[in-house]
A and B are shown apart, each in its own frame.
Chain A
Amino acid sequence: QSVLTQPPSASGTPGQGVTISCSGSSSNIARNYVYWYQQLPGTAPKLLIYRNNQRPSGVPDRFSGSKSGTSASLAISGLRSEDEADYYCSTWDDSLSGYVFGTGTEVTVL
């Protein structure tokens, strides 16, 4: 059972934007950095956002992250077909003394 809650799905047409929410608690998101991972079909996850809103080298600026209180969000602007993937948020949980992942959101480009 995941500690972080995400919507199961999100969709948009090419060029549109989508936002994925990640809801946590005072023991995880509120106190620690949030990370976002993209998992393309049949592949390993890839780091998309680190430390709430930082993009690793090579990640397009169409992807942006934010955090407020016990929640975080990933925004994708200018949707492209190659953005179809599962997206997971993650953070450290101080009560569990471990990383936790979100339930995952499947993004579909219509």
Chain B
Amino acid sequence: EVQLLESGGGLVQPGGSLRLSCAASGFTFSSYAMTWVRQVPGKGLQWVSTLSVSGIDTYYAVSVKGRFTISRDNFKNTLYLQMNSLRADDTAVYYCAKDRSHVNGILDGFDCWGQGIMVTISS
């Protein structure tokens, strides 16, 4: 069974940093692109960042570019999101999601999602 489990969320002051992790199991993690999506409680989904199969190509939403870094450790089957210079509007539930595509350079939607982890930015 494909599973994604996020961790590392919590309460952080504005300007602070946090690293989210997403532990993957049930599939060949190294063969799939991975993505972070966030959702302010009661609001819609917002794409945050995607990492290609190769781990070389990274894509970021304008709102997080330069502050967030997506990465992966294929030996640990884990996806990361390093979040720096956090702001109040980064407060959200963060989901990691597995892309359908296992072809490098092709992105094809998200067929598995984690349960989400809450990140709260407040003083």
Q: Could you tell me if A35 and B110 are in contact, using CB atoms closer than 8 angstroms?
A: yes
Q: Select one of A56, A101, A104 contacting B47, CB under 8 A.
A: A101
Q: Give the nearest-CB partner of B113 in chain A.
A: A44
A44's partner among B47, B109, B116 (CB-CB below 8 A) is B116
B50 touching A47, Cβ below 8 Å:
no
Q: Which of the 9-residue segments B8-16, B17-25, B56-64, B79-87 touches chain A?
A: B56-64
Could you tell me which residues of chain A, from 64 to 110, have a CB within 8 Å of some CB in chain B? Answer: 88, 90, 92, 96-104
| A47 contact set on B, CB distance < 8 A | 100, 109-112
Are B115 and A44 interface neighbours, CB within 8 A? Answer: yes
Residues 33-52 (chain B) with a chain A CB within 8 angstroms: 35, 37, 44-47, 50
Number of interface residues of B (CB under 8 A): 23
B interface list, Cβ under 8 A from A: 35, 37, 44-47, 50, 59-62, 95, 100, 107-116
- Assembly CA distance A98 to B35 (angstroms): 10
Question: Given A44-B113, A44-B114, A47-B110 in contact, is the A2-B44 Cβ separation under 8 Å?
Answer: yes
Whether the pair A104, B114 counts as a contact (CB closer than 8 A) is no
- Chain A CB within 10 A, most for which of B35, B45, B50, B116: B45
Which secondary structure dominates where chain A touches chain B? strand
Could you list which residues of chain A lie within 8 angstroms of chain B, going by C-beta atoms?
2, 33, 35, 37, 39, 44-47, 50-51, 56, 88, 90, 92, 96-104
Given A98-B47, A101-B46, A101-B47, check contact A44 B108 (CB 8 Å).
no
Most buried by A among B47, B109, B114: B109
Contact partner of B111 (CB less than 8 A), chosen from A50, A90, A103, A104, is A50
Contact in complex: A96, B62 (CB < 8 Å): yes
Bound-state CA distance A33–B108 (Å) is 8
Q: Which of A56, A98, A99, A103 contacts B44 (CB 8 A)?
A: A103
Which residue of the partner chain, among B45, B50, B59, B114, contacts A101 with CB atoms under 8 Å? B45
| Chain B positions within 8 Å of A33 at CB level | 108-109
List the B residue with the shortest CB-CB distance to A4. Answer: B44
